[in-house]
Amino acid sequence: MNVLVINCGSSSLKYQLIDMTNEEVRAKGLVERIGIEGSRVKHTTVGKEQVVIEEPMKDHRRALELVLNALVNPEYGAIKSMDDIYAVGHRVVHGGEEFANSAIIDERVMEALNACIELAPLHNPPNIMGIEACKELMPNTPMVAVFDTAFHQTIPPENYIYPLPYEYYEKYRIRKYGFHGTSHKYVSQRAAEILGKPIEELNIITCHLGNGSSVCAVKGGKSIATSMGFTPLEGLAMGTRCGDIDPAIILFLMEKEKLSFDEVNTLLNKKSGVLGISGISSDFRDLEEEAEKGNERALLALKVFCNRVKEYIGAYSALLCNVDALVFTAGIGENSPTVREHICEGLDCINIKLDRELNKIRGKEAIVSRDLTSVPVLVIPTNEELMIARDTVELVKK
């Protein structure tokens, strides 16, 4: 039973074909530069060589057509025909307040998705394009939408309402939504499995640290607070996003630098974060290397990043009262012992203690805390695609 998982960006399409009888990936790939010169599909069927198909693609429909052709190619494909695809799971960034769970895609869901464009003008349109392309190319295959925001719909109002005039919540639905939900859900469930305890009994803090980063407080398997907000700009300092800043800085800069709406948007989303502080890179591998060589701004960027994560861990341990596990995931969380070490430094006061040796691992599941009496600290590679495929099968079977 194969599920095709699709994640569409504005000019990219990532996919995985997962056999859900054993939850193993059969093929995966990436389409780059859709609608731009130099577009290509990088396709790998497990056990075979990667192929790169270079062909002009004017839109997501053409991109998906090439992906489906690659999947059924007798030489480098993974399946005989499209009939071997049981269902398609789509990652959708914003489900607004409409979706607290994944949903079978029908007309009503499409309407709701279109209504959410206002909330995620950069992310939802390409997600919708991917769905439309699938509908055209595989009209009889069931499809499911899995939302980045859905897991956070359990956050109580006192944690999602902003201290702004309430009418803006009523009028525009301005509130905290939170993102990376599929990842926070996956790693919190996996942490419970690894610890051998029912998730209903656990309080877990999950740190998804990648290009975009967020922290989540998970109580009994439900999100009760998260650092990203109305948009993915709030919270931690990120690769290029500023995260929490005094909102008055925006007004000050607009006046001093005569910045337009678009310029402010670019400044906060693309030129800030650790890139902004270091002036070097948004990539933590570059920053760690430069910091090691003595570059003070790179070191400062890393310190600001780690301190922010530490602050959220502190805040969420206050909300949860008692923390049963701390989890690190995503590109940085999974691969940077240095970042994990800096974040946990000085957290002995809340019984979080890392073991330096155990913490040296990268990219695989491990418990890296010092002893059995301290809070378990886990590194868990995230697997959003598997989570999407699981939800897809569950809903389609129903």
- Does residue 330 touch ligand ADP according to CB under 6 A? yes
Select the residue interacting with ligand ADP from 44, 69, 211, 295 (CB under 6 A): 211
- Does residue 285 touch ligand ADP according to CB under 6 A? yes
- Does residue 108 touch ligand ADP according to CB under 6 A? no
Q: What does DSSP assign to residue 375?
A: P
Q: Which of 148, 244, 283, 371 is labelled catalytic?
A: 148
Helix (H) / strand (E) containing 5: strand 2-8
Helix (H) / strand (E) containing 229: none
- Residue (95 or 212) nearer to ligand ADP, CB: 212
In whole angstroms, what is the distance from residue 142 CA to residue 118 CA? 26
- Does residue 335 touch ligand ADP according to CB under 6 A? yes
Q: How far is the CB of 337 from ligand ADP (least distance, A)?
A: 8
- Residue (48 or 285) nearer to ligand ADP, CB: 285
Select the residue interacting with ligand ADP from 284, 312, 316, 328 (CB under 6 A): 284
Q: How far is the CB of 362 from ligand ADP (least distance, A)?
A: 6
Helix axes 337-344, 296-320, angle to 10 degrees: 60
In whole angstroms, what is the distance from residue 254 CA to residue 28 CA? 44
Name the strands in the sheet holding 377-379, side by side, starting at the edge strand that comes first in the sequence.
222-226, 213-219, 203-209, 325-329, 377-379, 366-367
- Does residue 276 touch ligand ADP according to CB under 6 A? no
Give the residue ranges of DSSP H helices in 18-149. Answer: 60-72, 107-115, 124-137
String marking each residue 130-169 x if it binds ligand ADP according to CB under 6 A: ----------------------------------------
Give the residue ranges of DSSP H helices in the chain. Answer: 60-72, 107-115, 124-137, 157-160, 167-172, 181-195, 248-257, 261-270, 273-278, 284-292, 296-320, 330-335, 337-344, 384-397
The answer to whether 148 is a known catalytic residue is: yes
Candidates 1-9, 24-32, 223-231, 325-333; binding stretch for ligand ADP (CB under 6 A):
325-333
- Residue (137 or 358) nearer to ligand ADP, CB: 358
Select the residue interacting with ligand ADP from 6, 218, 332, 344 (CB under 6 A): 332
- Residue (178 or 210) nearer to ligand ADP, CB: 210
Burial group, residue 240, by CB count within 10 angstroms (0-12, 13-18, 19+): buried
- Does residue 376 touch ligand ADP according to CB under 6 A? no
Candidates 5-13, 151-159, 242-250, 284-292; binding stretch for ligand ADP (CB under 6 A):
284-292
In whole angstroms, what is the distance from residue 352 CA to residue 370 CA? 9
3-state secondary structure of 267: helix
Q: How far is the CB of 28 from ligand ADP (least distance, A)?
A: 14
Residues annotated as catalytic are 148
- Interface contacts to ligand ADP, rule CB under 6 A: 210-212, 239, 283-285, 288, 330-332, 335-336, 362
